[in-house]
Amino acid sequence: MTAAGNGWFRRYLLPGFAFKAVVIGGGYATGRELAEFFLPSGPWGGLVAMVLATLIWSLVATATFWFARRAGTRDYRSFFRVLLGKGWIVFEVAYAAFVILVLAVFGAAAGAIAAATLGAPPLLGTLALMAGIGACVAFGNVAVERLFAWVSILLYATYAVFLVLALNHFGPAIAGAFEAAPAPAPASGWALGGITYAGYNIIGAVIVLPVTRHLTSDRDAVIAGMISGPLAMLPAFLFFTCMCAFLPGIAKEVLPSDFMLVRLGSPLFHLVFQTMIFAALLESGTGGVHAINERIARAGASHGGLPVAMRAAIAFVVLAVSMLIADRIGLIALIASGYRALAWLLIAIYVLPLLVICGYRLARPRMPFPEVA
């Protein structure tokens, strides 16, 4: 294995790629979340809200990685047993709701992509995603880390090409949207959009704790955490900028990505982009289900030693419940209603306690952490 593979990549970039993998999901990759939380604030307000969300992600990821390393925790259960004590069970319930909700979003997005791209029944896309996630999580940490790395390359490259094509086709419309838009006002709602979007996605910093096993120092934890926010938000900045060319109509589209790809007029790139979105759904879903497997493994004192068949079976049960919800509710309703409530719950039971306790422990560096149960 290369030196980079053993050193700076796994210590500094892999946690950020993993965090990006969890948050990009069905709504971010398709543009649906961006339409829901940022487009209502207009071009400039949306960008400012995204900067705010990025700063929140970096701050909380840094605190999470630092706290986890100091406490010796590598899964969300042990992390919250140290952070919240007996109140850790509250997060367990919230996390169960989160996983079911986001996997339902992923399933609905995969179904919509199958219908829009291939003209296939939505169920086919949903089942393909289930099979892919189950196959990836069955083989544990190494397989999951490789997925995060390779899909990240595909994702960033695809968004870069998309930006070039979009600027070539829609450049004047994009420039016109920003020129006509007023500067963001304090009362315009952009801050609320940024905080809400950051709030429910920041759980990704806890989900990716298994990959922080490569961190060797507090400095590593801080660097990896600070990088995580920009790595996760960069594709969204590019995509949102291009979406502004089609305001206000694009805000109501189930798949804003497909809406724009049709107007690019390139069937080949349309297929490539939708393939990238499916890969993003795959890595996001894999991250969430893998965290559950690692939590069960450590709770059973097997420390990552769950058999392949058991990992796959757990994934199947979780995915089956989630996809059933996706089929009944639909993508737009899931994002609009479920994510906002979840955001404020996670801010209350995770973000605020973490920042307060980290500040307290930084002021008392010699204070020992409790034993991980």
Give tens-digit pLDDT for 102-142.
Answer: 787 777 778 877 887 788 888 888 888 888 888 888 877 77
Highest mean predicted confidence (pLDDT) among 69-73, 141-145, 303-307, 310-314:
69-73
What is the pLDDT at residue 305? 63
Which of 43-52, 250-259, 261-270 is predicted least confidently?
250-259
Q: What is the pLDDT of residue 309?
A: 80
The Cα–Cα gap between 351 and 90 comes to 14
Interval 36-55 mean pLDDT? 93
Q: 361-372 pLDDT, tens per residue?
A: 887 777 776 665
List the alpha helices (DSSP H) in 265-351.
267-299, 308-329, 331-333, 339-346
Question: Chain-wide mean pLDDT for the chain?
Answer: 83
Distance CA 291, CA 141 (A): 10
Residue with tokens 């900028």: 241
pTM for the structure as a whole: 0.82
Closest CA to 278 of 161, 133, 137, 140: 133
Distances (CA, A) of 115 to 29, 195, 326, 343: 16, 33, 15, 30
Q: How confident is the model at residue 2 (pLDDT cuts 50, 70, 90)?
A: very low
Domain boundaries, the chain: 12-363
Beta strand spans in 23-99 (E): none
Domain 12-363 has CATH 2.60.40.10: no
Locus of tokens 């560096």: 365
| Structure-block tokens of residue 224 | 């990896």
